[in-house]
Structure 1
């Protein structure tokens, strides 16, 4: 691939529009651009989680997730493009099943905390849910493939289980919610 960004600023967005991957210009406030922004923020939070000391299998999967999120953003950026595959969704499901298998069944709600890495996984989960909601909103206005929505849905579940898994690995248990604790 050649050098695509020889100059970072172009001034083409000064009027409040931006270019999609297919060359069309849209408002920076469009649902498609909001969706792209949410996916970008999710990728950044996953990058922050990757700065923590993590088990090798977690690090490898999250690195793959970052690449998948760029694919997902590319698919959203180019209407009609298809980049997210069933294989990518299946990989998340396999990791979800494997990490969840070693966890105690949930009997109470848990708080997003414990170790720093677990708390960051929960932050990633909340950003992922927001990205998913934005993509659903976009799909109600424009055509969006099923793959990106499925991927984000599985990823948010995986990030929840990952938070619990990281707390277990780090010697923390789940941080349980106590109904009416401060009433």
Structure 2
């Protein structure tokens, strides 16, 4: 259980923060930037929920919880030492990726195939979901970069990859099942 009695601690005043294993690192480290970006994404998902109806709002709530799991996973770097802890670190699992895939398939089932790229926009919800999509892609790029220098849970990377796809398809659903998608017209303003 998490108990936060005091919000400020002054321990980060010199530009460092603690990872989940207690190690202190610079606040601008790649690992902190990676899980900080997933936190940023979570905030954007919260804004999207303001525009979402019941089923979509519930799915976005699940994603927000998953993004906290992802942040917990990414802030604890010692992948090979999990078994020595009193409480093993929370890790993303394949089932979370599979759930996103099933939801993508279900949402995509009723959509007409795309014949053009689409511009981010349409309804307020679709526009916000496109913001979520692009921030998810940035979080994924950071996680992939981090994995070149430190151990990263592959399920966390897979989750971020599927999540951006989920947001893309959900944005089409939010645009009246793709009927009000804003299509890209190559060279339209030449």
Q: Given the two structures, how large is their TM-score scaled by the length of structure 1?
A: 0.94
Seen in structure 2, the aligned counterparts of structure 1 residues 178 and 158 have a Cα distance that, compared at 3 Å, is same
Q: Give 1:9 deviation, angstroms.
A: 1.3
Q: 2:134 aligns with which of 101, 126, 140?
A: 126
- CA offsets 1:5-50 (integer angstroms, 9 cap, x no match): 2111111111111001111100111100000110000000000000
Q: Give 1:58 deviation, angstroms.
A: 1.2
Note the residue ranges of structure 2 that are not aligned, 5 or more in a row.
80-88
- CA offsets 1:107-158 (integer angstroms, 9 cap, x no match): 1110011100000000000000000001111111100010110000000001
Q: Give 1:56 deviation, angstroms.
A: 2.0
8 Å CA contact retained: 2:91, 2:153: no
- Quote the Cα distance in structure 2 between the aligned partners of 1:130 and 1:2: 28
Q: Does 1:73 align with 2:81?
A: no
Aligned-partner SS, 2:146: helix
The root-mean-square deviation of aligned C-alpha atoms, in Å, is 1.3
Q: 1:109 aligns with which of 108, 113, 117?
A: 117
- Quote the Cα distance in structure 2 between the aligned partners of 1:30 and 1:131: 14
Counterpart for residue 146 of structure 2: 138
- Quote the Cα distance in structure 2 between the aligned partners of 1:166 and 1:69: 21
**Runs of 4 or more off by more than 2 Å in structure 1?**
none
Counterpart for residue 175 of structure 1: 182
- Quote the Cα distance in structure 1 between the aligned partners of 2:171 and 2:111: 11
Note the residue ranges of structure 1 that are not aligned, 5 or more in a row.
none
Aligned-partner SS, 1:18: strand
Counterpart for residue 61 of structure 1: 59
Aligned-partner SS, 1:26: strand
Counterpart for residue 11 of structure 1: 10
Aligned-partner SS, 2:101: helix
- Quote the Cα distance in structure 2 between the aligned partners of 1:42 and 1:76: 14
Q: Give 1:82 deviation, angstroms.
A: 5.0
- Quote the Cα distance in structure 1 between the aligned partners of 2:166 and 2:67: 14
Where in structure 2 are the equivalents of 1:144-159 lying within 5 Å?
144-159=152-167
Counterpart for residue 174 of structure 2: 166
